[in-house]
Chain A
Amino acid sequence: MPVTGPGTGPGTNPGTGPADDAPMRVVIAEDSVLLAEGLKRVLADAGFEVAGLAADAGALIRLTGQIRPRVVLADIRMPPTQTTEGLEAALEIRRRWPGTAVLVMSQHVETQHVVELLAGDPRGVGYVLKERVADIAQFTDAVRRVAAGESVIDPEIIARLVARPRAGSPLESLTDREKEVLALMAEGRSNQAIAQQLWMSPKTVETHVGSIFTKLDLLPDAGDHRRVLAVLAFLRQ
C-alpha cells in the first residue's frame, strides 16, 4: 500500500515553505496573558513569526482574516463562555480560509472534540493537550506538522483509546508492534515519520500498516489523510 506523508517531517526549518522563504506566520489565541507571552517566545525562538495575539474567539477570527497566518494556535476554552469557542473558531477559520493550519490546545482528554475538529478535512488540523508546551521541541514539532498539512492528535488521547479493554475485538489480534504503528497512525503520523520514530524501514511500516488494515477489516483508503479518521473511528467504537 503506497502511503506517503504530505508533511516535511520533524526537524525541517519552518521557514522553508514551497512559496516563500519568510518565517512562517502564526496567530495565537490564548486568554492567559502569561501563557500567551510564553508561547510567543517559544515559537519565536523556534523560528516562527508570531504575528498576532488574540484573547477571545472573535479577535482570533478577525486577526486571522487580516494577517492570513500559516498556522493558528487556539486555546479550546476562551471568553466569554469558557466552553469550546476555540474549537468553533478553528472550524470557522478552516471554513473561511481552508489553507490555514489550526492547532487546538486543550486541557480536556476528549475524543469527541477531536472528532468534531477533524471531521471536515483532517489535513493541517491538530488537537494537543496544553501541557505539551512543557516539552518545547515536541510542541514546536506539532506546530510544524500541522503547518505542513499533517493531522496531529495528542499521544495521550490515542494511548487511552488503544489501552481500552476490548473483549472480542479484532484489536486483540494485533501484535505489540502493530499496536505501536496503529497508535502513531492515529496520532496522524505519516509512514515516513512512523519509520523514523520506530527505527524501521519505510517498507516494514507499509507491511505493518497493510496487516493492520486487514486485521481490523478497514478499507485501505487511497488518500492517507483519511486514514487517521478511519483509525480513530475504529478506536472509538
Chain B
Amino acid sequence: MNPRLRAALIAAALATITFQLVTFYVNGWPGPPAPLFVFSTTVVLAAYLGTGIIAWQRHPADQIGLLFTLTGYAWFLPQLLSLHYAVPFTIAGGTAFVYQGCLGHLGLAWPYGKLRGRADRVVVAANYAWNIASPIAANLFWNPRATGCSAACPANLLLIDDSPRLYQDVGQITTVLGFPVTVAVIALIVVHWRRSRGYARRAMNALIWVSIPVAGYITILNIAGLVDLSQYNVLIYEAGPLLLAAPPVAYLVAALRAWRARGAVSSALVSMEPGPHPAKLRDALARALGDPTLQLAARTAGAAAFTDTDGATVDLASLPAGRMVTPLDTPGEAVLIHDAELKHEPELIRVAAAAASLALEHARLQAEIQVQLDQVRASRARIVEAGDAERRRLERDLHDGAQQRLVTLSLAIGIARDRAAGADPDLEALLESASKEARAAIAELRELARGIHPAVLTQTGLEGAIQALVERSPVTTQVRAVPPGRFPAQVEATAYFVVSEALANVAKHAQARAAVVTVREQSGRLEVEVSDDGVGGAQAGSGSGLAGLADRVASVGGSLTVHSPPGGGTRLQAVIPCP
C-alpha cells in the first residue's frame, strides 16, 4: 500500500471521528445526544474506518479495504444531522440508509471485496438504489418542525410538501418494498456460503455469523418504521448500532488468525517427527492452512504425471476451477495444490511451501541415508560371510591335504616299524619316535583346523559344536539349553563364536569356578548367554576380544551386551536375529 495513501486514510479517519464527536457536543441537534448513542456510533465509525485501513494494507489488490472504508463514511453521513444547517442537515436526511447499501455490498463481496456474478451485481445495485431512494422520497414530505423545534429548526432543502401524512405513507411503502431486497441479499449470502469450499469456507462461516446481527438489526429498524416501537428507542437507536460492528470485528479476527497461521504452519511441521510421511505432512499442512482440500503431489524424475499422497494421478494442466498450484523448492518436482482463495494469503502459502520443502528434503535425505546404511550393513554381513567361507575352505584344505597326508605317512611308518620289529631294534626305535612326531603333528594340526573353523558346526549344528566347546573348557561348564535344530550358517557361526570367545575369556580372565551356557530360540531370534561366577570387571572396550565379538554380532543385525560388575561375575548376552 502506498504510504501516502495510508497516511491520508489515517488522517481522514481521525479527522472524521473527531469531527463527529465535536458536532455531537458542540452543535448537537435537537440537543446533545445520549452518551450511549455517541459511544455506539463512534465505535462503529472507528471500527469500519480502522478495519478499512488494515484490510487495504493487507490486501492492496483486493477491494475489501475500500468497501470497509466506504461503509464507514456512509455511516458517518447521517450523523451530519447534528449540524443544524440546511445543507448538511439535508444531506444527512437523504443519505440516512446509504450505509445499509454498503453493508449489502460488503456481505456479497465477502471476503475479498469482489462480487461473484450478475445476480450479485443486480442485487447489490437494487440494494443501493432502494437505500438511497427511499429516504430521499420520504424527506420530500418531511418538515423538521414536526419534531417540535421552532426557530432553531434547520431547513429541509428537499421538502416539497409539508405533509406528515404523505411522509408516513411514503415511509411505510418504501419500507415494505425494501424487504424483498434485504431477503435477496441474505439469500445470496447463504448461496455463497453453501458453494464455498476449502480455505474460503472458514471466511464464509464467519460471514454467516456476522450476517445474523447485521440483518437482524436492519430488519428491526425497518419494522420500527412500520410499527410503533418507541418504548425500545434506547435499545434500538442507542445500543443497536453496536451490532453493526460485527463485520469489522470478524474481519480482524480472521486477519489475526491468518497472521497466527503462519506461525502455526511452521510449528505444526516442526513438531512432526523427522522425515514425515508425505500423507502426514499433507494433513499437517491442510490443518495449518485451514484448507482441507489441500493436495501434496510429486513427480519422480522422468515421470509424466504428478501423484498425490492418496496415490491418485493429478494433471496440473486441467485442474478444476478454484484450484491453484504452488511449486515447492525441492530437488524432485513437488507441488502444493490448494484452494485458489489462498492466493489472498501469499505470505501464508510461502511459509507453508518453505516448511513443506524442508520436510520433504529431510525425508528424502533420511531415506537416502537409510539406503546407504542398509548397503553398508549388507556389505559388512557379506564381508563376515566371506571370511567364514574362507575359514571353512582353509579347514577343509587342512583336513583333506596335510592331515590326510600325515595319516598316510604314519601308516607307512607303522608298517615299516612292524617290518623292523625284532630285526633292527635301532631302526624300530627311530621309526617309533618318527611315528610319535607324526601323531603329534596330526593332533596339533587338528586343533589348528578346529580353531579356524569347527567342522562339527557345519556337520551337526550348534548343539554338538557347543558341546565340544564345553568339553574343551578348562572351567567347569554346564550347558543349560541349546535348541536342537539347524539355523542359517551365519547365525550358527555367530552364536558359536560368541560362546567360544566367551568361554576363552572365562578361562583367561574370570578366575571362575563354573560357567553356564544357555542358547534359546525366541520369536525369531537366538539368545545366547554365557555367565560365570568369576571376578567380573570385563569391558567391551576397544582392543578387547569383546569389541570384535560385538562387531561380529552386529554384522548379522544382532546385539551384544556385557554385564560384568567387579566381583559379581560376568554375563555376556548376544541376541542374534534368526529369520
- Using a CB–CB distance below 8 Å, which chain A residues touch chain B? 32, 34-35, 38-39, 41-42, 45, 77, 82-84, 107-113, 116, 130-131, 133-137, 139, 160-161, 164-169, 236-237
Contact = CB atoms under 8 A, between A and B. Distances in A.
B455 A133 contact: no
Band of interface residues on B:
35 or more
A156 to B, nearest CB: 8
B84 interface: no
B58 interface: no
Nearest to B410: A134
B374 interface: no
A32 B404 CA distance: 8
Given A84-B459, A134-B435, A136-B418, A111 B468 contact: yes
Nearest to B442: A131
Given A109-B446, A160-B472, A167-B514, A133 B411 contact: yes
Contact of B460 (A35, A77, A84, A160): A84
A87 to B, nearest CB: 8
Interface stretch (B62-70, B109-117, B395-403, B486-494): B395-403
B474 interface: yes
Contacts, number: 108
A159 B170 CA distance: 131
A136 B410 CA distance: 10
Given A131-B439, A167-B513, A110 B464 contact: yes
Interface of B: 396, 399-400, 403-404, 406-408, 410-415, 417-418, 435, 438-439, 442-443, 446, 450, 455-456, 458-460, 463-465, 467-468, 471-476, 478, 513-514
Contacts of A164: 471, 473, 476
A108 B472 contact: no
B414 A165 contact: no
Contacts of A39: 411
Contact of A38 (B399, B406, B415, B474): B415
Nearest to A41: B415
Contact of A34 (B408, B446, B514): B408
Q: Chain B's interface: helix, strand, loop or mixed, by majority?
A: helix
A88 to B, nearest CB: 10
Contacts of B396: 82
Contacts of B471: 111, 160-161, 164, 236
B408 A112 contact: no
Contacts of A38: 408, 411-412, 415
17 contacts: A32-B404, A34-B408, A38-B408, A38-B412, A41-B415, A77-B399, A82-B399, A82-B400, A130-B407, A131-B438, A134-B407, A134-B410, A134-B414, A134-B438, A136-B415, A137-B418, A164-B471
The 5 closest A-B pairs by CB, nearest first: A112-B464, A134-B410, A167-B476, A38-B411, A133-B411
A20 B196 CA distance: 111
Given A32-B408, A34-B408, A136-B414, A165 B455 contact: no
B442 A112 contact: no
A133 B476 contact: no
A131 B456 contact: no
